[in-house]
Structure 1
Amino acid sequence: MNISEQDSGFAFVREFMLRGFSCEWKIRILLFSLFPATYTLTITGNGAIVCALWCDQRLHTPMYMFLGNFSFLEIWYVSSTVRKMLVNFLSEEKTISFAGGFLQFYFFFSLGTSECLLLAVMSFDWYLAICHPLHYPNIMTGHLYIKLVIICWVCGSLWFMIPIVLISKIPFCAPNIIDHIVCDPGPLFSLACTSAPKTQLLCYTLSSLVTFGNFLFILGSYTLVLIAVLRMPSATGRYKAFSTCGSHLAVVLLFYGSLMVMYVSPGLVHSAGMQKMATLFYAMVTPLFNPLIYSLRNKEIKTALRKVMGSSNII
């Protein structure tokens, strides 16, 4: 089981076992056939958006480039966990090395944090475009766009660095079985030989800050957008703005709702099944829906996608 004893008497875990979904072989085969299709559609959809935005010079504006960054981020976000998840579906051992587990932990959380920040920045961009259309080109310049994107990526990569390092230093006791589909802080804390309340508090505090802080910022931005939309004299303009805002809010609610259930409730004990389903939702389902909700309702992006695919009848 790749566990050795340290001088302190604690077990030194060299690998973890991700239990995943405990179900019959036939159901696992069904899930294994479903998940690759979902993963392929997610990569294809987000990749097509990135290519379309890159190839169409007319869409090289901050608003669309934020969307391109978001789709690019989604590709890496879903890849950080799904590939290992698919391997474990048909594997009997379902092991992941100690270093591999914490690398998965780091990339999953850092990319998720970057996504939270980028969604907030996109809501701010949309607020400027709707509420201050005349000043928008002067405020949201290419220089500011680059700054905001860099902040999202850098802050995302550093936000959970300290908690992850601290958790990796905790001695873990046998058995080394993680009753989850990914290396997540909750199941890892349950395997610890000693309690680490300060590390747990730090982890939940950072999760709450990045989740609630960005969520409230997004709600505030869209509230101001809604007020501005209601004042529009054109019914067509109101409908278009409502449609776009509604689709953006759908993405936000899908993503943040599942995150809050999992990571912003330190006193609430979730069942293993609920943890797995919530993780599956924001790790696989929302990245699949994002290109549909954010992009395929936009005429400019649909036109760019048609050009990339070489046919006007595909979309």
Structure 2
Amino acid sequence: MRLRVAGKGCSIFWIVITVLAAATVGQASDGDVGIVLTQVSENETVGVLPGENLGFQIQAGWKIMERGPARLDAELLGKRMTRIEFYLGNKTFLVQAGRDELYVKGFIAGSGALTGLTAGEKRLLKDALENNGKIDLGEHTETFLHALNILSSWPSNMAVFIWHDSDEAMSAVGREKLAVMPRKDLNARNTEAVKLVPLDRPAVERMAPPALNVTATDVREIAVVQGWTSICRRIGHSYTGRYFKCIDDFGLCLERRYFNYTHVVGGRRCFGRCGVRCTGVPEVKIYTRDCFNHDACVTRLGYTAFSCDIMFTFCADDVMNAPRCR
């Protein structure tokens, strides 16, 4: 399926899903919310969480990068990626992740207009995350739960847009701004490299993540650079992170002041956990330096501070890629 789901196509999806839900929702038992699935093909699944009225589609495939040395039969090089589209009312929220790349976008079905998440929508996504810890989507289970985690954690003042490809990282921040930086600086967590520019909505709305090749075989996955730093071993102990505050008067964060912040990792507030504090599936716990720094930022400056919006983009790939704490 293409990135944008036309109004007609989305309606057809819901007709099919509604029939499936009516036929099978009674199979849920033992207090589980239940999940209705249908396998469209080997690499594509559609489903619905009836209790949350949330539909979704999962597609797996390869982002093909290049062929090896110049031979017709040279092996393909690529990245294995999973694309999940969540259907919530007239909105579609896309999360496509694979190794070091991440694409997140929220848009209105039919028009493709960029959108954010309301408090009610985030609460619904959080409920779906917390009430479906026992679902089994095979190799896609963790990606599915992580995608729900990142969306339910989305700052209320930000349009849903993060684009981390091999060359550049960008994300919508605050009100009508776009934070951009070279990919190497995202990997290095170099906040000094972040530049704020006006958000060009039409250009962003035309952007689509890499097309997935669902039939490729004999693909060798290329090596990637790790950007996240796990702090699982610091749970229960004091840890010192670092956040910054934008101090210029132009709304472009041209000047920044940095502060250290010391706090116990974990605890009753789950400080440093990727997600909205202690919410989420209990057994999927991820603690990283970036998420700790973001928690420090919002504690001191509030959830709608420009600085914290910028730091959120560093947390996003942690949510999708960092290992869970054992």
TM-score interval, normalised by the smaller of the two chains: under 0.3
| Larger helix fraction of residues | 1
TM-score (norm 1): 0.25
Larger Rg belongs to: 1
| Larger strand fraction of residues | 2
